Amino acid sequence: MDREPPKNSLDAYWMPFTAQRQFKGGPRNFVSAEGMYLTTADGRRVLDGVSSMWCCNAGHNRPRIVEAIRAQAGELDYGPSFQFGHPKAFELANRLVAMMPGGLKHVFYTNSGSESVETALKMALAYHRVRGEGSRTRLIGREKGYHGVNFGGMSVGGMVANRKMFGTLLTGVDHLRHSHGDPRNAFARGEPAFGVEFADDLERLVALHDASTIAAVIVEPVQGSAGVIVPPQGYLKRLREICDRHGILLIFDEVITGFGRLGTPFASQYFGVEPDLVTTAKGITNGTVPMGAVFAQTKIYEAFLQGPPNAIEFFHGYTYSGHPLACAAALGTLDTYEEEGLLTRAAELAPIWADALHGLRGPKVADVRNIGLMGAVEMAPGAEPGKRGFEAFLKLHEAGLLCRVTGDTLAFAPPLIAEHSHIDFLADTVGKVLKTLD
């Protein structure tokens, strides 16, 4: 018989990516947020060291965004997204594509990073098919990659724990080797010097499968969830060259790197590499209303515009694609980013950020990685892998600092409004907690 949970039980909520029993034994709830800080249920202020989940690039509770959402809710709360539109969806699309380099001039709305990834993979497959190259059905991801939790993204993703429970996933998927772990790259500042040749792994997969079977390669320009793994110098350029050589589409998953994280609006500009498709989410609305967007090259968009003009060209979309509240939130977000120069602010903060993180090098620290305003401190594993990481995460929370943890790696990406004092507090707090670990 099912066990009846007590009233107001914490058990009713099956929480995402959470150790249910650990959490429910001592819940960590936030009740409000402002600027750089979140406030806990017991009234403590916690510095947001990771833009909550790499989302709140402008910090919390920003007036323009809050107002835009409020006003929109009282005007057009919702309307149909298929065969109908609303003005803000078009206004936002124009503003978004203006931020993108080159031919990335069309945008498709989704509700999350996972949906952006599924959308981009479907665009890639369908694009080849409408051009008469329907044999290009293979999708290539990368080891340690994170592309969300839906079947396509999970299949091209390369995080073992996220894959192993869920069956055989998509067929026809292969993975590039990841570029992490060369000891010569430990404590590199920014892009590590060694490992550009990992991009040549794509040539190996082309030799194995034949280019005529490969639709697209998807990579995060900087691997976020795996613990801020920065690409070796020249790696992404080489990947672009190999894709071009073989007619393979290159997809950048910029769910984390998009909207200023590296000091340019998108990582594409930072690395000087123009992909065919770009997936985004998170920072597009500063995390306030769920939204994602996929940017496509004009050649891809236009390839679909065939057949009778009243026939739907791409059988894909979501009930909430371009939701009015999300569009309003995104417009308020872009206003905030522009008015405060936030999309380039990480470039100014990057040297201070690098110094602060690398200053943590010490006995228990195996590696420090940084780029733009993101970074990671990888601790040497203690008695049991992951134990030290989780302990540090809890102690940091107690000490008033929010971070993310993956294994024994602590990841940081503070809001782009951070001041030097916030960065100092972050580094000091991590340094103090490191000293208390076994």
Interacting residue ranges for ligand PXG, rule: CB under 6 A: 53-54, 112-114, 117, 146-148, 220, 224-225, 253, 255-256, 281, 404, 406
Least CB distance to ligand PXG at residue 169 (A): 16
Give the tokens for residue 74.
Answer: 């009282």
> 145 or 332, CB closer to ligand PXG?
145
Instruction: Give Cβ neighbours of residue 334 (< 8 Å, ≥ 6 apart).
Output: 92, 95, 96
CB 74 within 8 A of CB 84: no
Least CB distance to ligand PXG at residue 227 (A): 8
Least CB distance to ligand PXG at residue 262 (A): 13
Give the tokens for residue 24.
Answer: 């429910």
> 146 or 198, CB closer to ligand PXG?
146
Nearest CA to 221 out of 142, 149, 167, 312 is that of 142
Least CB distance to ligand PXG at residue 216 (A): 15
Q: Measured between alpha carbons, how far is residue 44 from residues 41, 49, 397, 398 in Å?
A: 7, 15, 10, 9
Phi, then psi, of 409 in degrees rounded to 5:
-105, 130
Least CB distance to ligand PXG at residue 222 (A): 9
> 206 or 369, CB closer to ligand PXG?
369
> 211 or 280, CB closer to ligand PXG?
280
Q: Which amino acid is at 350?
A: A
> 406 or 429, CB closer to ligand PXG?
406
Least CB distance to ligand PXG at residue 161 (A): 12
CA 21 centroid distance within chain:
27
Nearest CA to 349 out of 329, 377, 386, 374 is that of 374
Q: Measured between alpha carbons, how far is residue 420 from residues 259, 318, 331, 353, 423 in Å?
A: 21, 41, 28, 9, 5
CA 88 centroid distance within chain:
24
Residue of minimal CB distance from ligand PXG?
A: 113
> 287 or 332, CB closer to ligand PXG?
287
> 211 or 373, CB closer to ligand PXG?
373
**Chain position carrying tokens 């496509």:** 296
> 211 or 221, CB closer to ligand PXG?
221
CA–CA separation, 302 vs 316, rounded Å?
16
Least CB distance to ligand PXG at residue 271 (A): 15
CA–CA separation, 281 vs 261, rounded Å?
13
Least CB distance to ligand PXG at residue 50 (A): 7
CB 163 within 8 A of CB 169: yes
CA–CA separation, 117 vs 125, rounded Å?
12
Nearest CA to 323 out of 292, 283, 299 is that of 292
Least CB distance to ligand PXG at residue 330 (A): 14
> 53 or 76, CB closer to ligand PXG?
53
